[in-house]
Structure 1
Amino acid sequence: MTAVPGTYSSGVPLTCDGCGDVAMTHGGGLHDADVVYVAVAAIGWTGSAFARGPHRCSRCTTAVPALRRHTTRVTASTAALSLVTVRSTPTSSVVHIAGDIDAHLASDLGSVLEDAAMSRPYVIADLTDVGTIDSLGLATLVRVRHTARRHQGELLLAGPSRFIQIVPRTMRLHTAFRTFATLRQAIAAANGRADLDADMRGSHR
């Protein structure tokens, strides 16, 4: 374990798994003894959202070669092409994302999701293979949600990890998205809602 929450009022000691340095961060905003995302992000460290780590200080993060930290950080376009894939159903665009949704992927992912929101009523972000999401990634999802709503649609989240479920909650955004345990459930929900919308339109004719 590389972070020891202890009592939140006294702060959270973080140990860098790269160099062994220890930093004490403020514990404000933490609501789960296992989840230290807020404390890690507050001091510019990277790593796991959970106390067991691993975590790296800003110096060690910079020292790690870019290709090890993120296999497609070389260019924005390669990130989008290799980490994001899209397939369509009659009612939804399913966007599968692999890797972390962070500053290096957010812009390209946003473009893909925005296009998807304009091509189908429902956009399903398949998060099954996503490990973490940072504030820019979350902001991207919020922006796409607004785009989908402007087109009378909706952004659904499928298969998020425990960490990805916790991050919106810390930002008080956990009620902004309908979230499903599996992709199949999300697709079924989109299909069911589309059928209901069609029935309602028919009843007004």
Structure 2
Amino acid sequence: MTVVPDDHLMTLICDTCGDTIRGTACVLPDAEVVWTLVAEHGWSGSPFATGPHQCPHCSLLPTSGGGHASCADHGPGGILGIDHLDDVTVIAATGDIDLESGDTLRTALRHAADVGGNIVVDLARVHVIDSTGLGLLVRAHCDARDRGVTLCLAAPSRFIRTVLHTMRLDGAFLIFESRDEALTHFSRRGVSAATASTAETAGSSAR
């Protein structure tokens, strides 16, 4: 463990130099999730207490691979692409979905709503999400439901799954292991709907 919870305080320990900080930054009722403590103090590493974590100084030190000690999965949030496939719009997000990158995701979700149809938010390249990003997804999910379509999540990280579970939202979203699995689900549902429509038409003609 590199983060030690003690009552309502948490101690974050740098795995490189052993430097420590102590704080109460934890917005989730889950002692294992420490992303807010890490982010608010400029540290890098895992959003979980099991580490690794590096202080701001050690995050800039080069590693043997030529990179840096910071977590390679983190970075500015953004949208890799938006694909329109039949009646499904796929939004591929990347980086950290937070207050700074929220407008980018909001614009992409609004575009998908304007196009119409079901929405798949591909989170394969997203490592963490804060309350801003989560709020955007919840609102988009509700809007999609009101339009009679579905917004689902594909390939969420372990951290995102933990956040959804902690906030009791894992049952609100359809969640798939991959983008392809989500597209297969909508494809099958479309075939089933088309088959039912054909059968109904045939039945009407027979009468």
Q: Shorter chain as normaliser: what TM range?
A: 0.7 to 0.9
Shift of 1:174: 1.2
2:129 and 2:177 map into 1 onto residues whose CA distance is 17
1:102 and 1:94 map into 2 onto residues whose CA distance is 20
2:134 and 2:140 map into 1 onto residues whose CA distance is 10
* Partner of residue 128 from structure 2, selected from 113, 126, 132: 132
Correspondence 1:160-199 to 2 at 5 A: 160-199=156-195
Shift of 1:197: 3.8
Q: Secondary structure at the match of 2:134?
A: helix
2:41 and 2:116 map into 1 onto residues whose CA distance is 38
Preserved CA contact (<8 Å) 1:45 1:55? no
* Partner of residue 11 from structure 2, selected from 3, 10, 13: 13
- What residue is the counterpart of 2:47 in the other structure? 49
CA deviation vs aligned residue, 1:140-159 (integer Å, no higher than 9, x gap): 11111122112211111111
2:147 and 2:8 map into 1 onto residues whose CA distance is 47
2:183 is matched by which residue type in structure 1?
Answer: I
Alpha carbons of structure 1 residues 151 and 198: separation in structure 2 relative to 1, 3 Å: farther
Preserved CA contact (<8 Å) 1:10 1:26? no
Alpha carbons of structure 1 residues 182 and 40: separation in structure 2 relative to 1, 3 Å: same
2:96 and 2:90 map into 1 onto residues whose CA distance is 18
TM-score by length of 1: 0.73
1:23 is matched by which residue type in structure 2?
Answer: R
Alpha carbons of structure 1 residues 86 and 114: separation in structure 2 relative to 1, 3 Å: same
- What residue is the counterpart of 1:2 in the other structure? 2
Correspondence 1:135-150 to 2 at 5 A: 135-150=131-146
Q: Secondary structure at the match of 1:109?
A: helix
1:89 and 1:175 map into 2 onto residues whose CA distance is 26
Are 2:115 and 1:123 equivalent residues in the alignment? no
* Partner of residue 33 from structure 2, selected from 33, 36, 41: 36
1:97 and 1:38 map into 2 onto residues whose CA distance is 19
- What residue is the counterpart of 1:75 in the other structure? none
Larger radius of gyration: 2
| Identical counterparts, % of pairs | 30
1:185 and 1:125 map into 2 onto residues whose CA distance is 12
Preserved CA contact (<8 Å) 1:103 1:134? yes
Give the gaps of 5 or more residues in structure 1: 73-78
- Calculate the aligned-residue CA RMSD, in Å: 3.4
Shift of 1:201: 5.3
- What residue is the counterpart of 2:98 in the other structure? 102
Alpha carbons of structure 1 residues 120 and 198: separation in structure 2 relative to 1, 3 Å: farther
Alpha carbons of structure 1 residues 153 and 55: separation in structure 2 relative to 1, 3 Å: farther
2:186 is matched by which residue type in structure 1?
Answer: A
Q: Secondary structure at the match of 1:104?
A: coil
Number of residue pairs matched? 183
Q: Secondary structure at the match of 1:4?
A: strand
User: Which is helix-richer, 1 or 2?
Assistant: 1
TM-score by length of 2: 0.72
